[in-house]
Amino acid sequence: MLDLIQLMQEWLLELMGGYSQKVLVTNLILLLFTIIFYWGIYILVFRGFRALSRRVLKEDSQVQPFKIQKQEILSAKEMAIIINRTVLALSWLLRVLIILSVINTALGLFEWTHHLAELSVGFIRRSLGSIWSEFTDYLPDLITAIIIIFIAHMAIRLCKLVFNGVARRRIKVPGFYPEWSTTSFNLLRLMIIALTVVVVFPYLPGSDSPAFQGVSIFFGVLLSLGSTTAVANVVAGIVITYTRAFKTGDHVRLSDTEGKIIERTAFVTRIRTPKNVEVSIPNASIMSDKVINYSSQAKKVGIMLHTGVTIGYDVPWPKVQELLLSAAAATEHIEEEPKPFVLQTALDDNYVAYELNASTKRADMRPKVYSALHANILDAFHTAGVEITSPHYRAVRDGNEAAMAPVIAGPEPEPAPG
């Protein structure tokens, strides 16, 4: 702009017939022309940005809310406010630039202030040139970093497609189970991201500066000191996955808590109990305790439910077995095959201990099946007039008869399967 002003100044001086006599008048004319020119630009900028600001804030504006998938992060009104403030900031920036241009041009018109204009212009040029030079010098490193990040992104997408195919059983890998897919993909993705960060780090601007390295070391120390428990839970979750102790939907007992697995994350496993209570158990706690999985064999061969009663010696054992088996047959969700059977587990001082074993494939309904089985045992014994009690006796050698049931020929008890 100063070059253009100088050319106009020389032309006006020649037109007015002398350089030394007409300098002041020429400079004043040029100053007036400059003020009018910049004032026109200022008015156009002011009115244009004000109209744009009003348009953005109107209710019928085309501003859309900011969403991530189906979640609305910022409403349309909030987005309009942000755009309006951005427009106002740009408007004020252009106004300041126009004012600075007017001042710089005015300084350049007069001989005693011309050097100030040249200094200000030189400062701006050097600053912009330095920024442009730094940008062009960093451009090869930026392109390299972008290429590395792009390759890592495509590798992650390829791994995701492969592991999704394994999870859906479209791709079969010998010795690799489909339930391992999610955990394996997350581990591989974490490794790719970590490797990408390590490779890209030297290409970041300022990565060689002591301040940048000090901040990196500080965050590394914080992460290592504060993540001991978290890392233990993550490692335990990985081990649990590859040992196939349970999967989502299984009915299990973990750390004295029984219920259905509803979610398994890197840090905790969540269980919904039969009382509809959700319990979160850290993976490290699961690793230090036993895991009882009721569902792993339930759908294939069924699991054994067992309950016991103690009956006095005055009731024949074939009668007790018959009543227990009839109770099992009357219970819903008890399988006919393998057949229920009864074990006589103990001959105590005052009673015989019997154990009823029956198979079910509904591991998720164990409490209800047990309740129904106990109710049917009560009904069967009460209908037959047999008390489910454990009698205690005081025997006098010469005055009491022996409490002994008559021997009744009955079927041989079936051996336990397996």
Q: Report the share of the chain in percent with pLDDT over 70.
A: 75
The contacts found for 333-338 with CB under 8 angstroms, 24 or more apart, are: 333/360, 333/361, 333/362, 333/365, 333/369, 333/372, 334/305, 334/358, 334/359, 334/360, 334/369, 334/373, 335/302, 335/359, 335/360, 335/361, 338/302, 338/417
Return the axis-axis angle of helices 2-16 and 76-109, rounded to nearest 10°: 40
Span 217-256, pLDDT tens digits = 766 665 665 556 777 777 888 888 888 888 888 888 887 8
pLDDT tens digit sequence for 325-336 = 999 999 988 988
Q: Which of 196-200, 289-293, 317-321 has the highest mean pLDDT?
A: 317-321
Tell me the C-alpha to C-alpha distance, in Å, between residue 144 and each of 140, 150, 189, 192: 6, 10, 21, 17
pLDDT digits (tens, 9 = 90+) for 206-220: 667 676 667 667 666
Instruction: State CA 228 to chain mean position distance.
Output: 20
Arithmetic mean of pLDDT over the chain: 78
CA dist 232 to 184, 221, 292, Å? 18, 17, 22
Q: pLDDT of 354-402, one tens digit each?
A: 999 999 988 888 889 999 999 999 999 999 988 887 766 555 545 556 6
- Please tell me the distance from the alpha carbon of residue 137 to that of residue 144, in angstroms, as a whole number: 13
Q: How far apart are CA 78 and CA 338, in angstroms?
A: 67
Q: Tell me the mean pLDDT in the region 339-365.
A: 90
Confidence bin at 80 (pLDDT 50/70/90): confident
Give the range with max mean pLDDT: 47-56, 84-93, 276-285.
Answer: 276-285
Q: Show the tokens assigned to 191.
A: 């490794």
Cβ count within 10 A of residue 196: 18
Select the CATH number that applies to the domain covering 303-418 from these four: 3.40.50.410, 3.40.50.300, 1.10.940.10, 3.30.70.100: 3.30.70.100
Q: What is the structure's pLDDT at 49? A: 74
- What is the mean predicted confidence (pLDDT) over 285-299? 81
Between 3 and 315, the higher pLDDT residue: 315
17-23 average pLDDT score: 50
The CATH number that domain 232-293 falls under is: 2.30.30.60
Q: What is the pLDDT of residue 97?
A: 78
